[in-house]
Amino acid sequence: MTSKQGIQPEDLYHLKSVADPQLSPDGTEVVYVETRMDEKKNDYISNLFYINLKDKTPQQWTFGEDRTSSPVWSPDGSQIAFLSTRTGKSQIYVLSKAGGEAKQVTHCKNGATSPVWSPCGKKIAFSVVLGKDETILDKAEDEKKKDKELKPLEIEKMKHKSDAGGFIDREQFTHIAIVNVASGELEQVTEGKEYCHLGTWSPDGKYLTYLADKAEDLDFSFNVDIYLLELESKQSHKLTEGSGAYYQTAWSPNSRYLSFVGGEREFENATQAKLWIYDMEQKLLNCVTSEFDAPVGDYVIGDFLQGVASPRVQWMNDNHSFYFQVTDHGNAAIYYGNVDGEIYPAIHDDQYVYGFSLDAQNDQAIAAISTTTNPGDLFYVNLKTGDKEQLTSINEDFLKTKTLAVPESIEFEGAEGWKVNGWIMRPVGYEAGKKYPLILEIHGGPHAMYGNTYFNEFQILAAQGFAVLYTNPRGSHGYGQKFVDAVRGDYGGNDYADLMAAVDYALEHYDFIDQDRLGVTGGSYGGFMTNWIVGHTNRFKAAVTQRSISNWISFAGVSDIGYYFTDWQIQAGLDDIEKLWHHSPLKYVDKVETPLLILHGEKDYRCPIEQAEQLFIALKYHKKQTKFVRFPEANHELSRSGKPTLRINRLEYIRDWFVKYL
């Protein structure tokens, strides 16, 4: 009898994601999105699934080999609007619960996103991108037939590219339109040279909310305000004060209260998001979580789930209380709150709640939950008692054929006596008395958080016979405002000390770790830190740096966020080259003795590939042991949502490098 093996890179093709559950208005049915990777297409396929909570049997509702997302029930629960790429660009479709074919209701040239039903159920508002001289009446062309015209790109703005979207057309702006579902009639409700991103429709039908930054100079503005668009008069009113970033609006059922998330940016991008409520009657804005030292929202970092939609604040029918998502000490939890300022946890177990949809009458919800050994499933949860019933078992049959490593949580003393949390995974097939190599994993951000969720890369390394150590050093979210802010201006300082303290703790408390076979890897900020570590200690015998930063001086000019990220994080700009260079791993490349594998995507605009090129050439110049692997067509999201074949290649490179040197 052969023992079951652990997770392998190619197992990505067998694992599926469930995400974005949406309860029907009467709380008896749920639709959700299921995503899998297709080996032949080398792409992702997602479809809508349905569960009636009486019989609890999942049924597939849409078919095809495209991407489906953003399901929304009509107010009477008879129809579902959703997005699909079946005709090329993402467009809005409406499907009757009674069955039949889905009806395409938008045909916009540049696609349509963010469908929002009107309270009467006859119209759908949506976001649309319009270029110069384009109108919402311009139809989408067949992308396959269209030859792309080559022409020069004129750039006058510093914000001219994004990792997600590539180069930004300076003539294109985002606007809001409304389609009549029955007639197809279109109406554009915002206009001008502005980016207006649709939020929500008020239950009384009077207002749409939208997000916009209407500053004169967008290059130096990082604010996002909430606007109320009065549909009758087409007048917009700004609700927030232009000194922060706000998003995710949600209405109480009686339209009196508007909740949203965000903050004043006192700590730039390290500021914890808070929950705000605007009282439409009193014209008062109140921060509900002002005394609450944890960020509202989802800051858990992972490498597996697809189609996750961060849930808004969700109101109960009493117009007084609501539920919302909080990131806290390795978990993403659901909290209860009310307009009087009461707040307490409703579900706060060792798990990652990555989505939920509220039954607004009964304090129940459908929650999407992942744990360290379950990639993700849907559960029917009682928010008062915490009782839960599992509705899907999407990966159960496949995972029965595998052995998973089970992480154990640790807490240790980092720099300055601060408490730091993390996890350690024993290798699959662990035997007492044997010695095993250890790999330290470092997350990106740095303002993110490893959590109690399934991590594919870690399971693959454990399956190969490695112990895996992963932690949340200072700079991570989930441990309070002081903790998340502490990394700014100190990259390579106490954050590095926290990580070395984690390794010291593991060696002291786990006698199966071989201190002569230590590896280290990480991506983005984790790649920066990997580069920093090998330039400051020789204790690691192998390292893999991914989508990394090596030189803050050039990063300031080439990254899509560079010129302000260096100001915020290193707390130095191009007028302080010495500080930028002091924090640059490239400065210390002559000290590197650790064999270093460099992995980077060709189309990474967040940490552009020149960062890897400089590092590779400097290492080779100094006759160091290194290899450079470039991934075609891949951006900064390669490990999470890149082409399946490239994601698998990446995992194989990491595994094989550590096998070779450890």
Q: Return the active site residues.
A: 524, 636
With a CB cutoff of 8 Å and minimum separation 6, the contacts of 511 are none
| Class of residue 569 by CB neighbours under 10 A (exposed 0-12, middle 13-18, buried 19+) | buried
Where does residue 265 fall: left (phi above 0), alpha (psi -120 to 50 degrees), or beta otherwise?
left
* Exposure letters 56-74 (e unless 16+ CB within 10 A, then b): eebeebbeeebbbbbbbbb
Residue 302 corresponds to which tokens in the numbers above?
């992972």
DSSP assignment letter at 292: -
Mutual angle of helices 494-509 and 525-534, in 10-degree steps: 70
Measured CA to CA, the distance from residue 339 to residue 286 in angstroms comes to: 9
Measured CA to CA, the distance from residue 8 to residue 14 in angstroms comes to: 11
Task: Give the pairing of strands 513-523 and 542-546.
Answer: parallel
Task: Provide the 10 A C-beta neighbour count for residue 572.
Answer: 20
Could you tell me how far CA 23 lies from the centroid of its own chain? 22
79 forms beta bridges with: 96
* Exposure letters 104-123 (e unless 16+ CB within 10 A, then b): ebbbbbbbbbbbbbbeeeeb
Residue 655's SS3 state is helix
Measured CA to CA, the distance from residue 607 to residue 559 in angstroms comes to: 6
Could you tell me how far CA 98 lies from the centroid of its own chain? 34
DSSP assignment letter at 642: S
Measured CA to CA, the distance from residue 627 to residue 490 in angstroms comes to: 29
DSSP assignment letter at 568: I
What kind and span of H or E run contains 33?
Answer: strand 29-38
Task: Provide the 10 A C-beta neighbour count for residue 455.
Answer: 26
Task: Provide the 10 A C-beta neighbour count for residue 217.
Answer: 8
Residue 397 corresponds to which tokens in the numbers above?
């049959």
Measured CA to CA, the distance from residue 404 to residue 417 in angstroms comes to: 34
Are residues 377 and 34 in contact, defined by beta-carbon separation less than 8 angstroms?
no
Number of residues written out for the chain: 662
Measured CA to CA, the distance from residue 246 to residue 265 in angstroms comes to: 10
Measured CA to CA, the distance from residue 287 to residue 222 in angstroms comes to: 20
DSSP assignment letter at 589: G
